[in-house]
Amino acid sequence: MISAPTLAIILALISAIMHATNSVLLKKSHERLLLRAWMGFGAAIISFPFIFFVPFPSGNVWIYLGLSGIVHFFYQILLINSYRLADLTVVYPIARGISPLMITLGALVFLDEQINLQSGFGIALITSGILLLAVENGFRSSGHNNSKQLGIFLALLTGLGITSYTLIDTHGIRLSENLWSYILWYFLISENTLMILYLNRRYKGRLLSALWPHKGMGLLAAILSLGSYGLALVALRFGPAAQVAAMRETSVIFGTILGIFFLKERCSWARVMAAMLVVTGCIFTRL
């Protein structure tokens, strides 16, 4: 029989593959904001029928659902703009790579998880990979590389957002008496509330007509989004947050490969080596 920590690792790895695939769809889309909206709306539509079969979240759980929704909204905006300014093979390793470092520290402070020498070595590898990407993409240059530098900066902020919502949702889902109640209400409410308000203001009553042409790709992205973060939440319920985060960020490797082969982005040894350093560091943080 599979132990709970082993199950958490398996779920996190499946989540990583689904997340990397979704990131390629987002990067490839010319309407990233609308596609990201479809991820949330579609997941809510799929989740809605099932909320009648789970308990209503308690008062304390709603605090974490609300905080998670706020952080996820800003994370989505940062991610979309970082993809607009820089390549997937740059943004993805940075945004996903720094989060295990910060989640490990956050788990030590807020979740009573431990950091050992091996975790410290993993953090050093992650930092090395990020610095290699930064140098490879022009932090030592000027002028024409300004947009890439801004994209990298937004990717770093995206990583901070990933750290924040992971710690919030870990605490929230462990506090919830029912695992599926937290997951379903997250996709129904937390993922969408602020995004709906933002899009309604942006499109001034034309939101449905703007979304409809992208329904095919949008529903596919929604299924991947629901599966990716839904599995991650289940993993966070049964495994240590830092370990689950490290395993999920193996999506960096999948994202780099997909970016090179499907988006025809430039392949360089520096990018490949940086991605490998980040993933190796992620694994070392919690092996």
Determine the straight-line distance between the first and last CA of the chain, rounded to whole angstroms: 21
Residue 97 predicted with pLDDT over 80: no
Question: Given its phi and psi angles, is residue 232 left (phi above 0), alpha (psi -120 to 50 degrees) or beta?
Answer: alpha
96 to each of 16, 59, 92, 108, 170, how far by Cα in Å? 10, 31, 6, 19, 17
Residues 277 and 132 sit within 8 Å (Cβ to Cβ): yes
| pLDDT value, residue 141 | 45
| pLDDT value, residue 171 | 92
The burial class, CB within 10 Å (0-12 / 13-18 / 19+), for 53 is exposed
Q: Which residues, other chains included, contact 36 with Cβ-Cβ below 8 Å and sequence gap of 6+?
A: 26, 76, 79, 80, 195
**What letter does residue 111 receive in the DSSP assignment?**
S
Mean of the pLDDT values across residues 156-178? 92
Share of the chain above pLDDT 90, in %: 24
Amino acid at 207: L
42-62 confidence digits (pLDDT tens): 888 899 999 999 999 988 999
Q: What percentage of the chain's residues is helix, strand, coil (to nearest 5)? A: 85, 0, 15
| pLDDT value, residue 243 | 77
Residue 68 predicted with pLDDT over 90: yes
Is the model more confident about 62 or about 275?
62
Q: Is the dihedral of CA 284, 133, 276, 71 positive or negative?
A: positive
Tokens of 172: 């929230």
**What letter does residue 3 receive in the DSSP assignment?**
-
Distance in angstroms (rounded) separating the CA atoms of residues 253 and 262:
14
Residue 139 predicted with pLDDT over 70: no
Confidence of residue 142 (pLDDT cuts 50, 70, 90): very low
Q: Which residues, other chains included, contact 148 with Cβ-Cβ below 8 Å and sequence gap of 6+?
A: 85, 86, 90, 137, 138
Residues 88 and 265 sit within 8 Å (Cβ to Cβ): yes
Confidence of residue 195 (pLDDT cuts 50, 70, 90): confident
Is the model more confident about 173 or about 145?
173
| pLDDT value, residue 261 | 76
| pLDDT value, residue 133 | 67
Confidence of residue 136 (pLDDT cuts 50, 70, 90): low
Among 93-102, 140-149, 224-233, 264-273, name the one with the lowest average pLDDT: 140-149
Confidence of residue 235 (pLDDT cuts 50, 70, 90): very high
| pLDDT value, residue 62 | 94
Tokens of 23: 């990131």
Among 118-127, 173-182, 224-233, name the one with the lowest average pLDDT: 118-127
Distance in angstroms (rounded) separating the CA atoms of residues 287 and 283:
6
Q: Length of the chain in residues, anyone?
A: 287
4 to each of 38, 103, 104, 234, how far by Cα in Å? 32, 20, 20, 10
The burial class, CB within 10 Å (0-12 / 13-18 / 19+), for 181 is buried
Mean pLDDT (the chain) is 82
